[in-house]
Amino acid sequence: MTPGNPVDLLPHRPPFRFVDAVDELEPGERVRARYRVRGDEAFLAGHFPGNPIFPGVIQLEALAQAGAVALLADARYAGSLPLFGGVEDVRWRRQVRPGDELMLEVTVDRLSARGGWAQGRATVDGKVACSARLFFVLASGNGAA
């Protein structure tokens, strides 16, 4: 079951939500979402002054949040709290700047009641900006593991 706007499944809120819209969703399997870098994100003032670059670690967070939408849209995991457990094979291929729209694609590889693995890829204008293998754990919605 998904709400009218799948982004609303995320427990994250601005200023720490990095998914604006979901374009494709197969609950528990895959998601295609997007985030537009507006340029007014507070951290860009210091990363880097006069030369803002969207941080790579926030690109990973955006991928994780997109993946969380796919998990939370699956009735088996509704109300869970997906948390980062680790990342592997992370690569950044290009700089992401204000005005860029990150297309976030996440495919769940392995999933159990306790967590799983997913492949994530963020692109800008069809070119890979970031890719990673994401490990996640599922905590109860109240924060207890």
Among all residues, which ones are annotated catalytic? 47
Its sign, for the CA torsion 5, 79, 64, 54, is positive
* Whole-angstrom distance, CA of residue 95 vs CA of residue 97: 6
- Give the β-pairing of 115-124 and 101-111: antiparallel
Answer whether 84's CB lies under 8 Å from 135's CB. yes
**Contact assessment for residue 120 and residue 132, using Cβ atoms and an 8 Å cutoff:** yes
Tokens of 71: 């998990």
Measuring CA to CA, how many Å separate 22 from each of 33, 59, 68, 69? Answer: 4, 16, 12, 9
